[in-house]
């Protein structure tokens, strides 16, 4: 298995080269709509975050490899959603674990032709953490806050929440509160150095800032959603790949379901497995206290919480990080539900936004 890491957006030259290589290995002429007789590899993206634990476990425990059989799994590790979408759109990867807002953006911008959400992965595990100078919402004026990347799920959540609280923000960094999109590891360093006052982040970075840098939670995103349920990570597949190779998508989903099942069934072992996978991806394990806290704030599920996506669209539109457009058809849960029914499980809903 090939594992590489990407912490910034791919360059145009790199994307072009990867696109050519990817099309040659996994599909025919992108405009032809026809499939080759054999697929030799599937390329999967994910992040080195606790919120992507189903990917981390599925890769490290060989669950995807078992499901894919003779088809080789290759992986790319990204820092945030927009960079992963750039690679997916260019044909450099076939599927990716990703936050809901970048998935919405690519679907709308492509007129529904780029990709489909085929399963949920993670619910919860995001918060606004701040330093001691911020004890209430009113203390945020004039402060500098970080998010993983402009337009990613946490970035939209922060901008939307600030707007609801009466603060103006700008994609260029101005406004009542400055928002600085920053790679997660750099955010931790900047926070420790006093150069940012807080950040809206996914786990384990929320817990890292709390445990390692003395931050405290100002807003737990779970408190902003009914019953505390909101999608943090979904599984997105390039539409052309899914149309040409539905059997490979079924196998990928088999591995995904197996991974979530493994986490549920191995609660004692899972933290160590996740931490080992994070070490392989980043070169460093998480402190035990950080990992324990992070896992307490997330749940892993194949249900993508499709009913929340209309709200997510409205939030993205309100803060100016996405274009207007329809998300009808965003979900294709037919393969997932077929597999769940085979195993005696409960079907999940597309909430009228696609096939289920």
Domains of the chain and any CATH numbers: 2-125+230-355 (3.40.190.10), 126-228 (3.40.190.10)
* pLDDT digit string (tens) for the chain, length 356 residues: 433 333 333 333 343 333 333 333 344 333 334 444 478 999 999 999 899 999 999 999 999 999 999 999 999 999 888 889 999 999 999 999 999 999 999 999 999 999 999 999 999 999 999 999 999 999 999 999 999 989 888 999 999 999 999 999 998 888 999 999 999 999 999 999 999 999 999 999 999 999 999 999 999 999 999 888 899 999 999 999 999 999 999 999 999 999 999 999 999 999 999 999 999 998 999 999 999 999 999 999 999 999 999 999 999 898 888 889 999 999 999 999 999 999 898 999 999 999 99
Whose CA is closest to 343, among 246, 253, 268, 266?
A: 253
pLDDT of 2 reads 37
pLDDT of 22 reads 39
Strand blocks (E) in the chain: 2-5, 41-47, 72-78, 95-98, 115-124, 126-130, 144-147, 178-181, 198-202, 216-220, 231-238, 298-300, 331-332, 354-355
Question: Which residues, 6+ apart, have CB-to-CB distance to 79 below 8 Å?
Answer: 6, 7, 8, 47, 148, 149, 183, 184
Residue 139 DSSP one-character state: G
Following DSSP, what letter does each residue of 270-320 receive, concatenated? HHHHHHHHHHHHHS-PPPHHHHHHHHHTEEE-S---GGGHHHHHHHHHHHT
pLDDT of 134 reads 98
131-136, Cβ contacts within 8 angstroms, sequence gap of 24 or more? 131/191, 131/194, 131/197, 131/198, 131/214, 131/215, 132/214, 132/216, 133/197, 134/197, 134/198, 134/218
Global pTM reads 0.85
């Amino acid at each position: 298995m090939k594992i590489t890491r990407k912490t910034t957006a791919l360059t145009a030259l790199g994307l072009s080269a990867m696109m050519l290589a990817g099309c040659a290995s996994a599909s025919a002429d992108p405009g032809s709509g026809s499939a080759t007789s054999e697929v030799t590899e599937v390329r999967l993206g994910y992040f080195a975050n606790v919120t992507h634990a189903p990917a981390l476990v599925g890769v490290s425990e060989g669950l995807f490899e078992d499901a894919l059989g003779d088809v080789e799994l290759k992986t790319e590790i990204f820092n945030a959603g927009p960079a992963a979408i750039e690679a997916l759109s260019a044909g450099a990867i076939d599927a990716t674990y990703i936050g809901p807002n970048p998935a919405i953006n690519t679907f709308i911008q492509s007129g529904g032709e780029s990709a489909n959400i085929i399963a949920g992965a993670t619910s919860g595990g995001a918060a606004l953490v701040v330093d001691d100078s911020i004890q209430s919402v009113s203390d945020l004026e004039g402060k500098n806050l970080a998010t993983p990347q402009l337009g990613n799920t946490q970035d939209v959540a922060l901008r939307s929440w600030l707007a609801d609280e009466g603060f103006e923000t700008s994609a260029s960094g101005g406004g009542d509160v400055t928002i600085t999109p920053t790679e997660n590891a750099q955010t931790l360093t900047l926070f420790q150095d006093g150069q940012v006052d807080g950040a809206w982040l996914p786990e384990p970075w929320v817990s890292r800032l709390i445990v390692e840098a003395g931050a405290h939670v100002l807003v737990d995103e779970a408190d902003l959603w009914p019953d505390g349920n909101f999608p943090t990570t979904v599984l997105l597949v390039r539409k052309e790949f899914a149309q040409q190779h539905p059997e490979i998508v079924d196998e990928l989903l088999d591995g995904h379901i197996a991974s979530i099942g493994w986490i549920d069934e191995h609660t004692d072992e899972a933290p160590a497995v996740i931490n080992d996978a994070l070490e392989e991806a980043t070169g460093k394990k998480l402190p035990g206290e950080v990992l324990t806290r992070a896992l307490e704030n997330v749940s892993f599920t194949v249900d993508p919480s499709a009913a929340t996506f209309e709200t997510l669209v409205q939030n993205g539109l309100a803060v100016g990080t996405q274009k207007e457009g329809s998300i009808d058809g965003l979900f294709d849960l037919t393969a997932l539900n077929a597999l769940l029914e085979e195993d005696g499980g409960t079907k999940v809903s597309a909430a009228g936004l696609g096939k289920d």
